[in-house]
Amino acid sequence: MIEVTRTDAGDPLGFDVRVEDGHGASSHAVTMSRAQHARLAERHPPEAVVEAVFRFLLDREPKESILGRFDVSIVSRYFPEFEEKIGGYLD
């Protein structure tokens, strides 16, 4: 289960994300600029985009390996295919 709660409506947008599975839970503080939201998937609510980011990440690493605090812009540094693939996690 991925639970996304918006914590800041400014720019960047801020979110608390909780990821639970059969082995426990992890918490993450995530930011995303409004410009990045528009570039990635402006027709989807920001919370849905952040959830998709976590689904993308969880397909590639365990929740314990996901940084506790990060901006969505760094994901493509670790996973160059991120921006190309993120749409598949939204539709």
CA gap 54, 60 in Å, rounded: 10
Q: Is 79 exposed, middle or buried (0-12, 13-18, 19+ CB in 10 A)?
A: middle
- Is the pTM higher than 0.75? The answer reads yes
At residue 88, the pLDDT reads: 96
**Beta 13-21 vs 2-8: how paired, if at all?**
antiparallel
The answer to whether 50 and 4 have CB atoms below 8 angstroms apart is: yes
Q: Is the pLDDT of residue 91 over 90?
A: no
pLDDT of residue 28: 98
Q: Are strands 24-32 and 69-71 parallel, antiparallel or unpaired?
A: parallel
- Render pLDDT for 9-65 as a digit per residue (tens, 0 to 9): 999 999 999 999 998 999 999 999 999 999 999 999 999 999 999 999 999 999 999
CB 49 within 8 A of CB 68: no
pLDDT at 77: 96
